[in-house]
Structure 1
């Protein structure tokens, strides 16, 4: 490879990292601002008043609220938000981190407004023409695999973290109808969203609608065992109970999240607004250093990072009628993001050099193409079983569903073509596997464990999240194989 293409790849990687860092900035500023205004405390009180049973709280906070945060921010943010919330409700730090990491899997396949597809598959040939098809294929597979996630979360809570070893099976089974119902509803809503609205909205609409249904089911005690209201399952000792108070109305506490969800929906649905946001202040870089096809997109106003930042400012005006705290909070967040930004840029440099290796003086095929051709000779017949594990490996190393798919998307696509199996199903398996990799991602584990004071416990956390990640990938492989065989 010529020095010029190597330099161009480095600059492409730096530019591609900027939109991701910008989204992460917006998400972290929102979290820190809500802590400052006391909104997080009010949100906690709202959850506890709804149900003091930790099995219910696990599904509401880790799975559904975390899924909503994934939908509007992504990039490892959900676990950073939900783990402290759960600790405030009385969960042990180890339980909070484990459950938050495992829950941030199913929603991560679509990530922040479809980013794993929009950006992650951007290196795959002809990707724009089949993104919606991949999204629909993904939801069909997850209808059978992802639907089990709430049930798995309650299993982990009860069997790994129960203070009382007796009746663990009963405590899990009595919630089985409710968790299966919510898991199936989540997946069905995702499937319908992908089919009729667009893949960008799956990660927002699915948790948002499901959390409303879950709250209604709790209010009417539908499929919730009576024991949950009489003797709620909890880790807290009676002496640990501290009554928190807040004068802030619940709707005001939730206002920044409501604002960002509304803005995201409007910006994606109203076509004239979408055109304006994608064309005005467009910071995309086309044909970098004169290399045709070497591009990096950043539509600044259309970015979730911009909308998150606007929502934070509006939220401050609603909650405390002042934006004085925005600048100092933003500075603190920027300082805390240094190591994350460096790790992301270095990883993307590797990815872009890897991807752009077809620009070479020896007329050799690219490294992804070479690997794809080599592997497909020996493993093509059973590749659908390997595809999700390759995606999980990518997230384990890089810390991102999007970057994992950027790294391995073209390889997965080429192997599917060489093996004459559905490209959409294989890419769906890559995305779901990469989402499952969030459970075991080193970056996420280190970040969340340090946040809640579990430094040095990373190995213990990994051992707890490894089994559900493996099971999820295995289920995806089996279901993908059935789909390929039938269709």
Structure 2
């Protein structure tokens, strides 16, 4: 009964948002109410605990809205300055094929962004860039969410591992005894290498999947196969990222795999693409805008671009704001003295022990990607010599879009925080664990020796709920290790299970409610969050199943698991192709 009740908030979200496709502000307000009532009356969390979790959620939501505003501001600044015309023309000169553009912008460029910053920044930067290139708003969001998988585990200079997994495995006496004489630090490096290998084996197909999803859901023919026709270039781009990504994870640790993988991938793929290497023979483009489904469109005004007109600026000058953003993100995350200042007491507002609970919150605007985006937008005024009216329009329009997105986030994030903090602080002997922990324990009891197959789903559930791979790893890394030990796995194989947790947590970002809400908000796609999740859920299912099958093959060494791991992507592609054919016939 308690397992079902703990599952109820997730079921409410899935039913209202995904099945009934109600707006997120309605779905998440209902989910928040259900979660708060369960936490208070069934889990016996105190009123102060629920209130503190709610306030913490509101603070987090406001920081996300700050990033949303800053991302839209940069886009509007580029529009008002005319720089976006040069950027569009630059990408069109590489290839007019939308599949190729999506792979370069989302998979390579935004993986580099993920590696330097994380925390939703790739969507904040990449989604409006795809929109400006002429993608439908919903297509832009879908593409960006699908790539929020492989690079996520090593996003923000390795934070999901260095903070998330580390908090789960450090200072645990039973774990230390099991891995002796290996230190916890070296064990973390072993887990890191496992994560890099799993992601590389699963994620190299992501460029092909996002290309096929693009043609399946947004092409005139609604054809999955049309996207697969770009397979030589997609696999080339996939391997150009995942090979250096894995090598860095194995030999250098968790800080730089995504950042280096994205950078090297761009160095390899961009020159090759400009020379026509492995380019598709047919060019895929969207139908005329008048033929688009109304659900694809956001509230941002339609912009008319004429790529035949000589751009107002050179491509390097026009693209320089993105170079500035990447540079500032890397410097602020890698240069330790600067990072310590930006997250230090002088620049941080700490709200400790809200309402007398153990829940604390903090506001770090100086360290927020939003601040870097705003600084860059201000530099653009000088860089592009913008007049006062253009600057005013960009700020006003950005504020309007942010306000429209606020209701959904102001319910979804508090719901998440109440869910995570639902454990009772009363009598430890009789209290229930927090809802996500109880769900994980129930799953472990049900699946036993098939646990590596299930482990990625637990990570994905944590990210879906929390909107963060880091928090998912914090909640479940030690639980995953303990479950692996209880079913008789040695410490080496238990490290594989913890790696499966991190990989599943990364994949869960594709459907995380507040990630979806934030990404939609950046392009003005309000009240269409459920439509997006219905699409990205399919990509997430591929990812977690494939990770589980490979995990079973590595841990148990059974040849048949490897056969299934080869068969599953084929089955996935065939099923998606059949659905697109059925759609075309209908």
- What's the TM-score once normalised by structure 2's chain length? 0.67
* Aligned equivalents of 2:162, 2:58: Cα separation in 1: 18
Q: 1:291 to 1:332 in 2, by over 3 A?
A: same
Q: 1:303 to 1:86 in 2, by over 3 A?
A: closer
Q: Is the 8 A contact 2:118 2:155 kept in 1?
A: yes
Match of 1:55 among 87, 99, 112: 99
Q: Please report the RMSD computed on the Cα atoms of aligned residues, expressed in angstroms.
A: 4.3
Structure 1 equivalent of residue 16 of structure 2: none
The answer as to 2:512 corresponding to 1:468 is no
Q: Which runs of 5+ in 2 are unaligned?
A: 1-44, 172-183, 292-303, 559-586
Q: 1:9 to 1:465 in 2, by over 3 A?
A: closer
Match of 1:339 among 394, 402, 407: 407
SS in 2 for 1:234: coil
Match of 1:384 among 452, 461, 464: 452
Structure 2 equivalent of residue 177 of structure 1: 232
Higher mean displacement: 340-349 or 74-83: 74-83
- Spell out the pairing of 1:388-467 with structure 2 (5 A cutoff): 388-397=456-465, 399-402=467-470, 404-405=472-473, 408=476, 411-419=479-487, 421=489, 422=493, 424-442=495-513, 461-467=532-538
Q: Is the 8 A contact 1:204 1:261 kept in 2?
A: no
* Aligned equivalents of 2:136, 2:365: Cα separation in 1: 40
Q: Which runs of 5+ in 1 are unaligned?
A: none
Equivalences, count? 479
* Aligned equivalents of 1:53, 1:415: Cα separation in 2: 47
The answer as to 2:66 corresponding to 1:27 is no
SS in 1 for 2:168: coil
Q: 1:332 to 1:401 in 2, by over 3 A?
A: farther
The answer as to 2:549 corresponding to 1:478 is yes
Structure 1 equivalent of residue 433 of structure 2: 367
- Spell out the pairing of 1:85-484 with structure 2 (5 A cutoff): 85-86=129-130, 89=133, 91=135, 95-117=139-161, 124=168, 126=170, 134-158=191-215, 161-163=218-220, 172-173=228-229, 175-195=230-250, 199-224=254-279, 227=281, 231-235=282-286, 243-244=306-307, 245=309, 246-279=311-344, 281-283=346-348, 285=350, 288=353, 296=361, 300-320=365-385, 325=392, 328=396, 331-332=399-400, 334-354=402-422, 357=424, 359-364=425-430, 367-368=433-434, 372-397=440-465, 399-402=467-470, 404-405=472-473, 408=476, 411-419=479-487, 421=489, 422=493, 424-442=495-513, 461-484=532-555
Match of 1:65 among 105, 109, 128: 109
Deviation for aligned residue 1:394: 4.1
Q: 1:285 to 1:443 in 2, by over 3 A?
A: closer
Q: 1:54 to 1:3 in 2, by over 3 A?
A: closer
Q: Is the 8 A contact 2:194 2:499 kept in 1?
A: yes
Q: 1:155 to 1:13 in 2, by over 3 A?
A: closer
Residues 254-293 of structure 1, C-alpha deviations (whole Å, 9 max, x = no match)? 2222122222322343333344334352526486269897
* Aligned equivalents of 1:331, 1:161: Cα separation in 2: 29
- What's the TM-score once normalised by structure 1's chain length? 0.79
Deviation for aligned residue 1:47: 0.6
Q: Is the 8 A contact 2:68 2:124 kept in 1?
A: no
Deviation for aligned residue 1:67: 2.9
Q: Is the 8 A contact 2:72 2:128 kept in 1?
A: no
* Aligned equivalents of 1:10, 1:125: Cα separation in 2: 28
* Aligned equivalents of 1:349, 1:255: Cα separation in 2: 38
